[in-house]
Amino acid sequence: MGKKTQHCLLLLLCLSGFFHYSAAFSFWTAKVEISYVNSNNVTVDKICECGVFGRNSPLEQASGIVTLPKGDPKGCGSDPVYNPNNSSLPWIALVGRGNCTFSEKINAAYRQGASGVVVYNVDGTGNNTMQMSHPEGDGIVAIMIGNSQGMEVVNLVKNGTVVQMIIDIGRDHGPWMDTYWLYFLSISFFIVTAASIAYFVFISANRLYNLNMHRRSERKLKSEAKKAIGRLQVRKLKSGDEETNSESNMCAVCLESYKAGEVVTVLTCDHIFHKPCIEPWLLDRRTCPMCKCDILKALGVEEETKEILTANAPPEVTVITVMGGEPMYEVPLTDPTSSDPERLQHHYDNSAFEGDSEAGRR
């Protein structure tokens, strides 16, 4: 496994840890009951399970007269002034979200004697709520309600209506994942995905580059090999030559005995082969089929070209061993129908011997 893959997996594990940490939180809903006398002198009672207890709020019941802060409706500042109608009765602060932290809002109301704090969400959010985090304001019951529900009570109080509110414990809902964690995980997922795609593109481009370099090196080496093969000794067999006197003398490439009039190539290791047989072999394998002697090295082909080819070379092709009683040589598994001219052409250089070769075949 590559280092890049290990880093991606490590990042995913970290994100998974964050997810489980966030998911460990559960939230409790709050039952909110309000009671007031309307303009027709009729008592109106409303109850809904529409609040959410703050993350640091004690899960306790609270009740009292709803009281709004004077001046700033969001309850911010050093000490927002609350003026309950009857200071001897318990009261609940109703403030809007924003301008300062939840802890500041809650502590400001708590210092002035509120038995609970209700924060309603910002304008335009309807009845949406969230679980507040207020680590510095954990000594008082605090819940959040939706904007529509909060503004309904605010308008009643501003019109002079006395609203009695009871906050009670609802149900446990968990695990809880707030919006910020969702944003964080979404962005993290996007970053990991983008990094993975970028890494894939980089690896693909690098492989294509190496493949292109290998092909160039291969072409350069073959070009040098053609020149080197042109310097090998080539001769035409005669009827009195040693190679034609016995059928045991045969070309190790095609397994055919030598005959008078055939053109053969003598390698630097003194092994001989049919010229049309050995030249394609040397271009492909570059070693003697019998003793594995490095022909190109012996002929002085520059080692730098071979080193470049070796560094960029892909895995070697599969080979089979041709059996003739005993293993004799290895040949590559190539497509006999290949249109590669370098594999099909038998005569590259040594043009001076082409006439001799034609005469031998006749």
Picking from 147, 173, 199, the residue at the C-terminal end of a domain is 173
Which is nearest to 203 in space by CA: 355, 17, 33, 4? 4
Residues 42 and 94 in one domain: yes
Residues 139 and 215 in one domain: no
- Is the residue at 195 inside a domain? no
Residues 245 and 155 in one domain: no
Picking from 173, 198, 221, the residue at the C-terminal end of a domain is 173
pLDDT attached to residue 323: 44
- Is the residue at 95 inside a domain? yes
- Report the distance separating Cα 261 and Cα 237, nearest Å: 5
One-letter identity of residue 296: L
Q: What's the CATH code of the domain at 304? A: 3.30.40.10
- Report the distance separating Cα 36 and Cα 151, nearest Å: 15
Which DSSP helix (H) or strand (E) runs through 359? helix 354-361
Residues 113 and 231 in one domain: no
Residues 288 and 353 in one domain: yes
Crossing angle between the packed helical segments 275-284 and 179-229, to the nearest 10 degrees: 150
The pLDDT tens digits for 296-338 are 777 776 554 555 545 555 444 444 444 444 444 444 444 444 4
Residues 355 and 216 in one domain: yes
- Is the residue at 206 inside a domain? no
Residues 88 and 219 in one domain: no
- Is the residue at 328 inside a domain? yes
pLDDT attached to residue 338: 46
- Report the distance separating Cα 13 and Cα 296, nearest Å: 54
Residues 34 and 157 in one domain: yes
Q: What's the CATH code of the domain at 150? A: 3.50.30.30
pLDDT in tens, the chain (362 residues): 455 555 555 555 454 444 444 444 578 999 999 999 998 999 999 999 999 999 889 999 999 999 999 888 898 877 778 877 766 789 999 999 988 999 999 998 888 889 999 999 988 888 888 889 898 888 899 999 999 999 999 999 999 999 999 999 998 876 655 566 677 888 999 999 999 999 999 999 999 999 998 888 878 877 777 777 878 888 888 887 888 887 778 888 888 888 888 888 888 888 888 988 888 888 777 788 888 888 777 777 655 455 554 555 544 444 444 444 444 444 444 444 444 444 434 443 444 344 444 444 44
Are residues 134 and 119 in contact, defined by beta-carbon separation less than 8 angstroms? no
**Helix spans in the chain (H):** 3-23, 102-111, 147-158, 179-229, 275-284, 295-298, 303-312, 341-344, 354-361
Are residues 91 and 67 in contact, defined by beta-carbon separation less than 8 angstroms? yes
Terminal Cα distance for the chain, rounded = 61
Residues 129 and 237 in one domain: no
Q: 155 is written with which tokens?
A: 């308008």
Q: 81 is written with which tokens?
A: 């002034």
Degrees (nearest 5) of the Cα angle 130, 132, 134?
Answer: 175
- Is the residue at 6 inside a domain? no
Helix, strand, or coil (residue 168): strand
- Is the residue at 83 inside a domain? yes
- Is the residue at 234 inside a domain? yes
Which is nearest to 269 in space by CA: 255, 283, 282, 254? 282
For 241, other C-beta atoms within 10 Å of its C-beta total 15
Residues 67 and 121 in one domain: yes
Largest CA distance in the chain: 137
Q: pTM, whole model, 2 decimals?
A: 0.46
φ, ψ for residue 361, nearest 5 deg: -70, -30
Please enumerate in sequence order all residues whose Cβ is within 8 A of that of 267, keeping only pairs 6 or more positions apart, or say none: 232, 273, 278, 288, 293, 295
pLDDT attached to residue 362: 43
- Report the distance separating Cα 239 and Cα 223, nearest Å: 35
- Report the distance separating Cα 105 and Cα 97, nearest Å: 9
Picking from 148, 173, 198, the residue at the C-terminal end of a domain is 173
Residues 231 and 334 in one domain: yes
Helix, strand, or coil (residue 94): strand
Domain of residue 314 covers: 211-361
Residues 218 and 284 in one domain: yes
Q: 160 is written with which tokens?
A: 């002079």
The pLDDT tens digits for 260-283 are 888 888 888 888 889 888 888 887
**Number of domains observed in the structure of the chain:** 2
φ, ψ for residue 222, nearest 5 deg: -65, -35
If you write DSSP's letter for every residue of 88-121 in order, what string do you get?
A: TS-EEEEEES-SS-HHHHHHHHHHTT-SEEEEEP
- Report the distance separating Cα 343 and Cα 231, nearest Å: 20
Are residues 284 and 309 in contact, defined by beta-carbon separation less than 8 angstroms? no
Helix, strand, or coil (residue 170): strand
- Is the residue at 160 inside a domain? yes
